[in-house]
């Protein structure tokens, strides 16, 4: 995915561009792991309450 754009970016060394892409991907994975999945998802589940468990049993 990041291999093709690295050859078309003018003025940047392909290794530097790939390192920047790798850093951004790693940062995004860490942000998703430690912030979204451990803080935001439980907070939303608490706020939404029992409506988060869809579909419900009993056919309401």
Residues 33 and 39: their CA atoms lie apart, in Å, by: 9
16-32 tens-digit pLDDT: 888 999 999 999 999 99
In a domain, 31, yes or no: yes
In a domain, 26, yes or no: yes
Q: What is the pTM of this model?
A: 0.57
In a domain, 11, yes or no: no
Q: Which domain holds residue 37?
A: 22-46
Low-confidence stretches of the chain (pLDDT < 70) are: 1-12, 56-60
What stretches of the chain show up as alpha helix (H) in DSSP?
A: 3-8, 14-31, 41-48
The phi and psi torsions of 12 (rounded to 5 degrees) equal -125, 140
Q: How far is CA 42 from the centre of its chain?
A: 16
Number of domains into which the chain is organized: 1
According to the model, what pLDDT value does residue 10 have?
59
Residues 28 and 11: their CA atoms lie apart, in Å, by: 25
In a domain, 10, yes or no: no
């Amino acid at each position: 995915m990041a291999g093709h754009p690295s050859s078309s970016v003018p003025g940047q060394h392909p290794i530097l561009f790939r390192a920047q892409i790798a850093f951004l991907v790693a940062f995004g994975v860490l942000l998703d792991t430690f912030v979204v999945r451990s803080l935001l998802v439980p907070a939303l589940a608490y706020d939404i309450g029992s409506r988060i468990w869809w579909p419900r049993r009993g056919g309401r």
